[in-house]
Structures are given as structure tokens and as C-alpha cells.
Structure 1
Amino acid sequence: MADEGVRRLIEEATRESLNQSFVEAGKKYIAAAEALERKGKDTEAHETYKKAAEAYEKAADNYRSSKSYKNAALNMCLAGDVYADLADSEQAIRAYVRAAEDLLAASDEHLMWGEDAETQKGTALAVAATMIYLMVGMEDKAFQAARAFSAKNASKLRFPATIRLSQIPQMLESAIRSVDIDSFASAENAVVTELKAALSNANAQQFIKYVDKGLDMAREILRGQLKVPKVQAHLEIPVDMTFSEEFPLQVVIANAGDGDALDVKAEWYLDDGLILVSGEKVKSFASIPPGESVTMEIVARAAEQLEGVREYEVLVRGTYLDMLKT
């Protein structure tokens, strides 16, 4: 985009702001900032991104003043995204926390009707708010907010699907506190199959990506309490050998960590000048417990008679999972 085009975008964004059209202003500031970035004008781009975030926050203020809390939350999330991209973690967290508060307020608006359908929508928004708290590392705040929501609205949570939704934060908290992988998997499944569907039903699918990020953070919190594997490999090659003859190659794969290494897979990669004579090129192991090791061995030889000096490359590459299947 030419400089004139960038200037025009910024002028339009400024005009939108003056007209109180802050959402449109934010979008145009973003477009201008991206164009400036492509031109290598990082300082100008940074300032323009900040104007975009400020525009989204002003849009949120307007929506909040008219009690359109869901739209306020969305714009605060957009502001948080911009601050996060600018590596301004303090401002990003502040924006996301306000978004969570707006979602809780939006939840109250739905629950005030006392109808099962509206209660389910409100519950989905409240649980999404707790996931945003989780996303920014405020797990205590997330679980406190979830408990407060359930206590406040206990008499309204009658529909079974709504009750299950409201229990998702409790399921995550219990799994993290007890370091229970199976319970966490159940909570994760509830997020994927029930919460996301409920958010779509509440016309709030824009918040699904923040729910995913909150779930990722919950997983990291759990992982921090898990005993994790640490797989190391040691390749053994005979000292006295002739490449034109058959020779053994052995790799010892050991788990030096504190947790089981699961679904371990290892594969030999031989130089083009080497031929696999016998043994398994790929081998799998269901698990390697802490402090234990397994061995893979093959027999190889050179593909042709050797003259002079020749270098060969032998590699073993592998993968494994921890208890969280990552």
C-alpha cells in the first residue's frame, strides 16, 4: 500500500473516532498499522496499533453504558489481542480481565429472565468468563467466579445441560488440584462438546478462541504439577569395524524423567551409502517407565566397496508423549 493509502486509512480511522464509530476506527487503525509494518515502519506501526486498542476500548465503554455487555466484552478482547501482539502484557491482562467482567454482566442479563433457554445462554457466557480468567493465569479468580455464579444462581440452574455447563470450571479445578488426568480429559471434552456449542447458541462464538486459550493454560497448570518424562538416547557403534562387512548398531533409549514416556516411537535413518541388513527400522514401545531403558539394534553394511576416506551419517529420531498426550 502506498504512503497515501496509509495516510487515508489513518484519516478515516480518526474521522470514525470523532463520529463515535470506534469499532470501525479500530479496524482501520489495524489495517493502517499492518501496512506500516510491511513497509518496515515499526515505530509508526506500534503507535497505530495502540490507537486501535484504544478505539476498541472506547467502543467497549459505549456498549457498556448501554448495557450491551457482550459487545463490550468482545471489544475488550480485541483490545487485549492488540496489546498482547505489542507484548504489553500488563495492558493485555487488564483488557482481558475487563472482558471477563463484562461477560459476567452479560450473563446476569440472560439469567434475570428465569427461562431455561436464557439461563443456558447466560451460563455459557459465565463459564467463558472463567476461561478468560484462566487464559491470563488467574486460576484462583476463575474458580472463585465460577463458585460465586453457581451459588448466586443455584435456583435457576435446573436444566441438566445447563447444570453440566456450570460444572465445567469445577471439573477443571478438581482435575488440577488432584492432578487427575482422566478427570481433566472429561472436563476438556465438556468444553469442546458442550461449552462451544452453547456459546454458538448464545451467538457468542467469537469467544471460543479465548475458551481454547483458557483450556491451554489449564493444561499447562496441570502439566506443571505432573511428573514428566525425559527421554535420552545413546548410540553405540563398534570401535573396531569394517564398513564393507556387516556391523551392529545399537541405540539405548532411556527415560531419565519422573513420569512415564508413552507411545514411544523410534526410527533409524541411515546414510544413502549404508544398507540395512537386518533388524527393525522403526520400533514402537507402549511406555518407558522412569529410570528404565529399551534397546534397538540393527545390522548394516556399506553399499559398495570402499576406497579412501568416506563419512557416513547414522541418526535415530523418535517421539513420545507425556500423561497429557503432548
Structure 2
Amino acid sequence: MEPRNRTSTAEFILLGLSERSERETLLFSLFLCMYVVTAVGNLLIIMAISSDSHLHTPMYFFLANLSWVDFCLATDTVPKMLVNIQTKSRSISYSCCLTQMYFFHFFGIMDSVLIAVMAYDRFVAICHPLHYATIMSPRLCGLLVGGPWLFSCLISLTHILLMTRLVFCGHNELPHYFCDLTPLLRLSCTDTTANKIFVLLVAGIVIAMPFVCILASYARIIVAVAKVPSAGGRRKAFSTCGSHLSVVALFYGTTIGVYLCPSSVRTAMKEKASAVMYTAVTPMLNPFIYSLRNRDLKGALRKLVSRKITSSMTARSGT
């Protein structure tokens, strides 16, 4: 039988996190607060790093990029869900769905690669401190950030191009709160083998490989720190890695469960719970994880806030 025309499904219905209407007010309030904290926290970190010349180092350059990516990742998914709850409309057009999916994968891939890049930065700083400035040159830092942006663009575009060849007919309800790849593939009434193979290939490249590189970097770091004679020196070395390890555990602990575990052990509820972790919870927690454990960043944030307060008071007194 010939599949129906591609235009037979002009929109999808996002079922959201819960199908019970009485929970929607609570979900709206919760995710609105989370998104505001995410936006303010990550943008403050970017502004603090940009305004303080002492933080113009490779580590904070990567952190500023990670904060921007986290902000964009949350912005791609959470506001649409909030609008759907507020308007009582769960529909999303086919083109908007593919656009959301593109940016979700784009910033998700960037997140994964940047976390691995930051692990490499810590490896060089601890294992090769005398050569750190030479190795982590501005040119290399630019390549370590610019390369992933281009790579993410190409991978995400390939996902979309593979998706456009599929036909969606009949059932159009997505058991999710945004257009993710796996739920969409389940709705297609055509062969999705090529898409699934590409998903596994990309997951291996952008999730498994960076994760293995992070483990290898920290294995070398642990060996190097163990050779430090003083306990204070060991504590200082590990403290610079503690924040990053917390982010690694949060991000990879959820993404591996979604994209690398067998489909037989995954359920729609588990996928949604994992997605909440890496699209809302992790971007919200990252600013706290990095700022609370970092004296230099806390100082820069205090200076930034005090400058803003002082300029605001001056402007008011002038008027």
C-alpha cells in the first residue's frame, strides 16, 4: 500500500509531562521558576566572565560558552511547553517541530563536546602546568570551540534531512513536551532504519566518545594528583575538578540512558524524566555548581552585581 501524502500530518500534538489538567498549574509554576533561574544564572556568568579581565583564561572561556549553550538549550524547549500549558493548546506545526528538534540536537551536541573540552583543559592544567599557556593557546581554544559549533550544525542538519524523507500519517500525538527524535520516529509509517542507524552512530560519536575521553582525562589527573606530596596541594587540584565532575555526572548520566540504552528498557516516562534533567535541571544547576565552588567567579559576580546596583542608584539620583 502506498503511504499517504507527506502533508497528511501538518502538526503534532505534544502530550506534555502530564495528561492531568490539575497538575498543569504546578508544572507551569515550577518550570517557569526553573527557566528564570536558568536564564539569569547563565547570563550572569557570561557577563561576569566578559567584564573581569582576570577571568579571560581558557577555563572561563569554555565555561562562558557552556553557559550560553545551556541557556539556549533550555530556551529551545521550556518556553514552548509553558506557552502550551498557558494557552491550553498542545499543537506544534510540522515545520516548527523540525526547527525545535534541530536546535535541541545542535545545543545538546555542543553541551556534550564542551564538557569534554573542559575535561581536556583540566587535564592540561594539572598534568602539564608548566606548558599550559603554550598548549592552550588562543588559536587552539578557538578551534576547540569553533569546531564543535560547525560539527553540531552538520549533524543536526543531517538529522533534519533524514527526518524530512519520512511520512507521518494517522496518529500524531507525541508523548513528550518537545519534539525529540525518538518519539517522532515511532510515529512514522515508513521505514526508519536509516534514521535509527544514524542516531546510534551520532550517539557513539557525541556521547560515548566524549565520555570515554573524560574518563581517560580524569584517570591521568588522579594519577598526577596522587603524586603531589602535600595534602593541601591535592585538595586544591581536586577542587578545580569537582564542579566539572558534578556536571559530567548530571549530563551523561541522563543522556546515556536515553540514547545508548536498548529501546526495550526505555519507556516514554523515563525518556521524559531524563529529558527534564538535561534540558531544564542541568542548565539550571550549572551556574550554581561552578559559582559556589569557585572563589574567582564568585568575586567577579559580586563585582558585577555591585556595579549594576551602583549605576542604577546613580541613574536614579541623577533624575
Normalising by structure 2, report the TM-score: 0.28
Larger radius of gyration: 1
Structure holding more strand per residue: 1
Structure holding more helix per residue: 2
Normalising by structure 1, report the TM-score: 0.27
**Structure with the larger RCO, 1 or 2 (CA within 8 Å, 6+ apart):** 2
